[in-house]
Amino acid sequence: MLKKPVVLLVDDEAILVIGVEDALISAGFEVFSALNAQAAMAEIDSDPEKFACLVTDIRLGGDIDGWQVARHARSRHPRIAVVYMTGHAAPQWSSEGVKDSVLLAKPFPDSHLAATLLQLMNQSEPLTAFQAVASGQ
């Protein structure tokens, strides 16, 4: 039996976490969730190689944002796939992103997130630039 890819999902909106978590589990992922940056970073520190993917909101409410969580994750696991989510997409944010990552504008179809994660995890070549992916594309 193939091992399920493990995703760390980070968002400060509990209702969104529940919905995205259910969708990812249905798509065949194992999901660990954190409702704030500190909990996410502690989970990463406990076993950095456990996670194939990080899915994080950019605005997490507090002093640490999703960009910082992603940089923290990459400092411990350089090949982790990173997907940012935001309801406040702005072009200037793309320069702050972690290389080889994707930005999804909320709301997005559940199937789009799962497909994006699979694409990132299965790439043989790293992405050449931060990729902004519009909702529903």
Report d(CA 93, CA 35) in Å as an integer. Answer: 22
pLDDT the model gives residue 137:
38
- Global pTM value: 0.84
- Domains in the chain, please, with CATH? 6-133 (3.40.50.2300)
Q: Do 64 and 71 touch, CB atoms closer than 8 A?
A: no
pLDDT tens for the chain, residues 1 to 137? 568 899 999 999 999 999 999 999 999 999 999 999 999 999 999 998 999 999 999 999 889 999 999 999 999 999 899 999 888 755 555 545 566 788 888 888 888 888 888 888 876 444 433 344 433 33
Report d(CA 34, CA 38) in Å as an integer. Answer: 8
